[in-house]
Structure 1
């Protein structure tokens, strides 16, 4: 077990990408120090640890910095290789998990951002596009990970559960602020999976409060910019 001072996580409370790392650390039982960053006024320490992207999350382990959430998750699973494991042991199963994690971040994540930053007809089109991406994702998950319950990793949260759950578990806040995109009738498999993750005690403990997140999203995307 690592000493608390040996593991630090630089993050911000509203970021699902940072929530991913907290979930993984807690799941593995790794003590860590959390450092909240004010992103409009990034600390010199954050920029020092992540000079390329200058963003969170950043995990610092024994003075060595690791950036980018998917990379950090793999580092955690490889360095602290005790159970529960985040990634499957089988190389093919690991490859499938990595593929869909990258698809989620590269395709679905940007499609959601397009909804948040558009209005009117543009937003309607963004919602249609996002639902198409979600359909591909949902069908792929059902095909590649059949009969997994309640999580894709089985009885505990795994790599892909953490990647998706840290963001998608906020679907009620998202629907409240923007538009109804996540619909159990249209995407029953996806919504059932997300609900199971959202009800997980570890997820409940780690996710930011609903009301606080709604206020944050409304302030960022709905209020007119100051003159």
Structure 2
């Protein structure tokens, strides 16, 4: 597909950037990727996202968008070729947005807190994640992907789970991804990570381990979540 003046400013380990990369790849949109260091914010990042000062930043023909879930919706609405990411029925589309926000708060944010804390605070975070995983397990009944038979918006939003959570579990000495308790999630992870458009575009495990080992000790628990 012809390049259409698309740029993505990101950081290699960010799940928020990764989901945008996957969406562009699924739609066949060519783009220029610009890597930045979120710990040493570049003038470009500060210029394009002066409010939040974080990635991803998406630029299409000079127009700037931030916040990954908003960017996913923009991509889906701008490039209408298949696969369509969001459900077409208004109710299903609204529920997909609701669940994306729910799983982000209850699994991603709480999971990262579990990585960065210990004791009672870690236990509470792990409990929050497992409770949300039970909801995710229910949502996957009768489905190959969250989008049904094909990868959709929700799969992209929570796709980080299969390759980041095992690293967080190892580093924090916790257990969340239990295949005996969550067989449908386990099957979904295998289906998602083995998909041709997904499997060749993942950060390397050893590099992620090294990053999260150091960052989990650097971040104060009260500041977790803004630079995942």
* Fold match (TM-score > 0.5): yes
The equivalent residue for 2:113 is 114
| Cα root mean square deviation, aligned | 1.9
**Is 1:157–2:156 an aligned residue pair?**
no
1:18 aligned partner: 17
CA apart distance, 1:191: 2.1
Distance (whole Å) between structure 2 residues aligned to residue 57 and residue 15 of structure 1? 8
Match 1:184 to one of 179, 182, 195: 179
Helix, strand or coil at the partner of 1:66: strand
Is the Cα–Cα contact under 8 Å of residues 10 and 59 in structure 1 kept in the other structure? yes
**How many residues align structurally?**
219
Structure 1 CA distance, aligned partners of 2:195 and 2:128? Answer: 30
CA gap 1:31/1:224 in 2 versus in 1, 3 angstroms: closer
1:30 deviation in Å?
0.3
Residue 90 of structure 1, CA deviation: 1.5
- SS of equivalent to 2:160: helix
- Once the two structures are overlaid, the 10-residue window that deviates more, 6-15 or 166-175, is 166-175
After superposition, the Cα gap between the structure-2 partners of 1:75 and 1:224, relative to the gap in structure 1 and judged at 3 Å, is closer
Q: Which range is displaced more, 216-225 or 85-94?
A: 216-225
Q: Equivalent residue for 2:3?
A: 3
Q: Where do 5+ consecutive residues of structure 1 fail to align?
A: none
Residue matched to 1:214: 209
Q: Aligned residue for 2:192?
A: 197
Correspondences of 1:39-54 after superposition (within 5 Å): 39-54=38-53
Output the CA distance in 1 between the equivalents of 2:66 and 2:120: 37
User: Is 1:81 matched with 2:80?
Assistant: yes
Aligned to 1:93: 92
Q: 1:45 to 1:201 in 2, by over 3 A?
A: same
SS of corresponding position for 2:45:
helix
Whole-angstrom distance in 1 between the partners of 2:28 and 2:81: 10
Q: Distance in 2 between matches of 1:220 and 1:50?
A: 23
Determine the C-alpha separation between the residues in 2 that align with 1:12 and 1:37.
6
Tell me, yes or no, if the aligned pair for 2:107 and 2:128 is still in contact at 8 Å: no
Shift in CA distance, 58/223, structure 1 to aligned 2, threshold 3 Å: closer
1:147/1:224 CA distance change after superposition, 3 Å: closer
Q: Which secondary structure does the structure 2 equivalent of 1:183 belong to? A: coil
Query: Once the two structures are superposed, what CA deviation does each residue of 1:100-143 show, in whole Å capped at 9, x if it has no partner?
Result: 1111112222211220121134323321232122223333x14x
Q: CA deviation at 1:192?
A: 1.8
1:65 Cα offset (Å): 0.6
